[in-house]
Structure 1
Amino acid sequence: MTHLVAVTACPSGVAHTYMAAEAIEHAVKAKGWTCKVETQGSIGIENELIKDDVAAADVVILTKDIDVQGQERFEGKLIVRIGVSDAVKRAAAVLDKIETHLQETA
């Protein structure tokens, strides 16, 4: 089973941060994968990823509209950077591309 971690953040740190997290979680569940999503919003970091979360991850998704704090945690992992709007509007399509990549490199 594929395990994914993600960090979502947007310039204002409000709605889109959380909408992106929800969209990613929904799309991952639809694929039968597992995930944990950290949000870096206006009220700080929530649902913070711990070392074990990162170690278990097959893929890391980072939103790229603003610098995500703690990116060094993901060194050596497959990292996919997407716009927060793509996470909100196209999470399923992004995961389809990730799935194709994982199958081609397996």
Structure 2
Amino acid sequence: MKKIVAVTACPTGIAHTYMAAEALLLAAKGLNVEIKVETNGAIGVENELTQQDIDNSIGVIIASDIYISKERFKNKEIIETNTRHTILDARKYIVQLLNK
């Protein structure tokens, strides 16, 4: 099973952060892809990605409306989008990453 990681975040860190994370989790399940999603919400970082998570993944989806450093994702395929687009069509971004 292919593994990917993702980071979601929005300026207020309430609804969109978690809605985008949920959309990614559901889409990944439907595509038979293992995913770990780090959320950067109002209460801070949850489900933080470890270096091992990143190393074992084929790539990263950053679904964010705020700046997220890409430093820790060196040598990984990265798809960048915002939370709104992810909520509407998370499957599209997972498929894009799988096809890179």
Given the two structures, how large is their TM-score scaled by the length of structure 2? 0.92
Is the counterpart of residue 6 in structure 1 residue 6 in structure 2? yes
Determine the structure 2 residue equivalent to 1:95: 94
* 8 Å contact from structure 2 (residues 7, 64) kept in 1: no
Q: How far is the alpha carbon of 1:58 from its aligned partner? A: 0.3
Q: Distance in 2 between matches of 1:11 and 1:39?
A: 12
Q: Deviations over 1:41-63 (max 9, x none)?
A: 01000000011100001010002
Q: Deviations over 1:4-33 (max 9, x none)?
A: 100000111111000000100110010001
Q: Distance in 2 between matches of 1:57 and 1:81?
A: 16
**In angstroms, what is the RMSD of aligned CA positions?**
1.2
Superposition map of 1:1-106 within 5 A: 1-68=1-68, 70-99=69-98, 101-102=99-100
Q: Distance in 2 between matches of 1:15 and 1:33?
A: 24
Identity within the alignment, %: 42
Q: Which has the larger radius of gyration?
A: 1
Larger helix share, 1 or 2: 1
What secondary structure is seen at the aligned counterpart in 1 of 2:67? coil
Q: How far is the alpha carbon of 1:96 from its aligned partner? A: 2.7
Of 89-98 and 57-66, the range deviating more from structure 2: 89-98
Query: Which runs of no fewer than 5 residues in structure 1 stay unpaired?
Result: none
Aligned residues: 100
Q: Deviations over 1:45-94 (max 9, x none)?
A: 000001110000101000241012x5311011000001110111111122
